[in-house]
Amino acid sequence: MHTPSTAKPGTRTITMKIKRCDGPGKPERWESFSLSVTTGQGMNIIAALQVIAAKPVTVEGSRTTPVVWDSGCLEEVCGACTMVVNGKVRQTCSALLDQIAPNDGDVVTLEPMSKFPVVRDLSVNRQRVFHNLKRVSAWVPIDGTYALGPGPRETPAEQEVRYTLSTCMSCGCCLEACPQFNQEPDSKNWDTAFLGAHAISQARLFNSHATGKELAPQRLDALSGPGGVGDCGNAQNCVKVCPKKIPLTESIGAMGRAVTIHAVKKLFTMK
């Protein structure tokens, strides 16, 4: 996008191969679209989908409906546009075609995330991600939005740890990559199915805040129960796909230890 104006950009043709589905319970199908891309223009997958939406005609020349997808900020800070690109989960706004399909004839495969129910085409329902934040009480229990003086002081080192944990956008990459996290269509089972790395890491975030700590016992109870930190199979895929480089395995380790100490304490206090 930012090549100096002297650069002579070349044009190539690539194929966008997209897994489509008209709605829950409907059959899946693949459709391919041909796309002309000019090098150096910063074209990403979202821009490609926009071009297809304006003229939805497949490589076979048959007319189809525009592809449905989710997107938001297009700056990799909202998490909305997460999909499986060439077999790997990631945000599609930051998937630049010059990088993932640099040559004429390259094919880009797009699929919806598999761990969440498909709404339509590339759009999935990630309600469970937010539900799991409730399971671990992912908030600081303040007295309300009134001015009651400053919050607790903290060192720059503490702030840096919390800031990194707090950049989690609930995108679901860590869940898509996790062998222990599986699709659970029945929301009645959500409270006992595996929470996933993001929620465990959020528990760590709030347990490391001076006021947030107040709810640590109930967070650790949630992490001790079914679907808690014990369900982690230590595959360590989560940390590899996290777009914000959150140290998820560190969080899982820290919460695992905290859960053990919590259990021992409970044993001795007979609570």
Partner 1 sequence: MAATGNEKRVIVVGGGLAGLAASARLVEAGVGVDLFSVVPVKRSHSVCAQGGINACNEVARQQGYSEYEHFDETVYGGDFLADQHPVLEMANWAPRIIDVLDRMGVPFNRTSEGYRDLRLFGGSLFKRTHFSGATTGQQLIYALDEQVRRHESEGNVTKYEHWEFLWPVIESGRCVGIVARDIRTMQIRAFRADAVIMATGGCGLIFGKSTNSVMCNGAAAARCFRAGVHYANAEMIQVHPTAIPGADKLRLMSESARGEGGRVWVPALKRPDGTWGVHPRSGQDPKTIPENERYYFLEERYPAYGNIVPRDIATREIFDLCVNHGMGVGGGQQVYLDLTHKPKEYLQKKLEGILEIYEKFVGEDPYTTPMRIFPGVHYSMGGLWTSFTPGSYTPATPRTKHKSGTRAPINAEIGQGMALGEFNNAMTNVQGLYAFGEVSFAYHGANRLGANALLSCIFDGVFCGVSVANYVRSGPSSNKPTKDISQSLYDGAVAQESAKVKKLVDAVDTTGADDPATNPYIIGRELGVEMTEACTVVRTGPRLERCLSKLGELKARYSKLKLADAGGWTNQSMAYARSVGDMLILAEALALGAFRRQESRGAHYRPDFPDRNDQEFMKSTVARCSPSGEVSVEFVPIDATLIQPTARTYGKKDDKPANPAPTRPSDASGANVPTGSLAGAGV
Crossing angle for the helix pair 197-207 and 248-269, to the nearest 10 degrees:
60
Closest contact distance (angstroms) between CB of 30 and partner 1 is 19
Q: Which of 11, 187, 192, 211 is close enough to bind partner 1 by CB under 8 A?
A: 211
Q: Check if the beta carbon of residue 149 is closer than 8 Å to that of residue 230.
A: no
Q: Is 1 in the site for partner 1 (CB under 8 A)?
A: yes
Q: Which is nearer to partner 1, 130 or 233 (CB)?
A: 130
Q: Which is nearer to partner 1, 174 or 232 (CB)?
A: 174
Pairing of strands 11-21, 107-111: parallel
Q: Which is nearer to partner 1, 50 or 260 (CB)?
A: 50
Q: Which is nearer to partner 1, 33 or 180 (CB)?
A: 33
Q: Is 8 in the site for partner 1 (CB under 8 A)?
A: no
Q: Check if the beta carbon of residue 255 is closer than 8 Å to that of residue 203.
A: yes
Q: Which of 18, 33, 35, 71 is close enough to bind partner 1 by CB under 8 A?
A: 71
163: which residues sit within 8 A by CB, 6+ positions away? none
Q: Which is nearer to partner 1, 45 or 84 (CB)?
A: 45
Q: Which is nearer to partner 1, 13 or 159 (CB)?
A: 159
| Binding window for partner 1 (CB under 8 A); candidates: 50-58, 108-116, 177-185, 259-267 | 50-58
Please give the span between the terminal C-alpha atoms of the chain, in angstroms, as a whole number: 61
Site string for partner 1, 188-207 (x = CB under 8 A): ------------------x-
Closest contact distance (angstroms) between CB of 21 and partner 1 is 10
Q: Check if the beta carbon of residue 206 is closer than 8 Å to that of residue 215.
A: yes
> What part of residues 218-237 is at the interface with partner 1 (CB under 8 A)?
none
Give residue 236's region: left, alpha or beta (phi > 0; psi -120 to 50): left
Burial tier of 154 (Cβ tally within 10 Å: 0-12, 13-18, 19+): middle
CA dihedral for 172, 178, 183, 189, sign (positive or negative):
negative
> What part of residues 232-271 is at the interface with partner 1 (CB under 8 A)?
none
Q: In whole angstroms, what is the distance from residue 3 CA to residue 18 CA?
A: 30
- CA triple 48-51-57, angle to 5 deg: 110
Q: Which is nearer to partner 1, 205 or 232 (CB)?
A: 205
Site string for partner 1, 128-167 (x = CB under 8 A): --x--xx--xxxxxx-xxxxxxxx-xxxx-xxx-xx--xx
| Binding window for partner 1 (CB under 8 A); candidates: 38-46, 103-111, 183-191, 225-233 | 38-46
Residues written for the chain = 271
Q: Which of 12, 15, 22, 250 is close enough to bind partner 1 by CB under 8 A?
A: 22
> What part of residues 91-110 is at the interface with partner 1 (CB under 8 A)?
93-94, 96
